[in-house]
Amino acid sequence: MFSSKCGPALYRAAMSERRFCFLLRCLRFDDLATREQRKENDKFAPIRKVWDLFIAQCKSGYTPGAHITIDEQLLGFRGRCPFRMYICNKPARYGIKIIMICDVETKYMLGAMPYLGKHTKPPQGMSLGHFVTLQLVEPYKHTNRNITGDNWFTSMQLVNDLLQNYGLTYVGTLRLNKPYTPQVMTDKKVIPRGCTAFLYDRALTMLSYHPDKKKTKFVQLMSTMHYQPVIEANGKPEVVICYNKTKGGVDAFDQMCARYSCSRKTKRWPLCVFYGMLNAAIINAWIIYNRMQKDRGQPEMERRIFMMKLAEDLIFPWAKDRMSFQGMHRSSQMTIKDVYSINLPHQQPAQGNNSMKRCAFCTRKKDRKTRQQCIHCLRPVCVEHAKPICCDCI
């Protein structure tokens, strides 16, 4: 990153490599004196305050559309963590599980909640997926939106609770071993390949779809959004098509986080979570910016270009102040000048006699006795190299 040969100059304009490593080593997010006391009730205490502030900003900065997706994201981490998980179908496999909700249309992250394992205790008689879903959809209560989730969240109690008490519909897959699922809904003799069985209970619809492929098992879904047994021209039920269109909000967001990521190798899990927050913040800012551009009738910006411009705008005020620091190395000043086109500051001439200083360009054998000063960089130069601006500044 900080290499002068192959690294971008933007990093060197912001700070030195030594300063960057120092900040990473000292970066903390809470008060160490009270951490142990807070960790007794909350294992997420080392970064809880910063996390809550970030999620509050995400909720207040955007109004979602009609469809919302709830799913999980795994932040890759293999160090010590009391709630580290193993998920075999994720690229990282080991890491910190974050349950989040995203807007289906734009993939904006609306909210998130860390999975703390046994440290998360839902009310008695309520499953963990049920409890987490209610916590995340609380800001959108009674808005008639639809929630899409997978079989880890879906249950009959959750679907009825969302419809009756929260004013939200739900579409999601269902596990085949649920006790309230009739056995006839998974019987291959009753439901041959390419057919669908529907089951209705007031506003709740359950269906079992047996795909035409040989090795595919039953696909069971539950919905409170659909009331009719509609089969599309391709043979798939309307509920299955709706689920396929609205299930990928969180997965697409996770894919965007992995494509352009600021994460670095670390042994501290709060820093890993902080990297995930930075990735999410950049994507959310890019989505809001493109939505504003679309409303103004202007073209949208590519995310890579947006990230570069965002970094330049954030670094510019600090880089401008660095130019005036006493003892600033000239190579760093020239880097800032090249990146931001800022003129080098005019320094006051050094007091005293400069006749004993060696010319900046002459060798020891050809050193000239008559010396002047460059009006731009104020370096001592001889008569041969002294022009209005010395040869290096030109």
Q: Indicate whether 274 and 150 sit together in one domain.
A: yes
Question: Number of structural domains, the chain?
Answer: 3
Together in a domain, 65 and 121: yes
* Amino acid at position 34, single letter: T
pTM of the model: 0.82
Residues 338 and 389 in one domain: no
The pLDDT tens digits of the residues spanning 7-16 come to 888 898 888 8
Report the candidate in 132, 83, 73 with the shortest Cα–Cα distance to residue 283.
Answer: 73
Enclosing domain of residue 112: 32-294
Domain-located, residue 19: yes
Residues 340 and 363 reside in one and the same domain: no
Is 20 part of a structural domain of the chain? yes
Residue 299 located in a structural domain: no
How does residue 190 score in pLDDT terms, banded at 50, 70 and 90? confident
Identify which of 250, 255, 291, 243 has the alpha carbon closest to the alpha carbon of residue 103.
Answer: 250
Do 266 and 329 reside in the same domain of the chain?
A: no
* Same domain for 207 and 92: yes
Q: How far apart are CA 33 and CA 321, in angstroms?
A: 34
280 against 330, higher pLDDT? 280
Residue partners of 189: CB distance under 8 A and separation at least 6:
none
pLDDT (tens digit, 9 = 90+) per residue, 211-260? 887 667 888 999 999 988 888 888 889 999 999 999 999 999 999 999 99
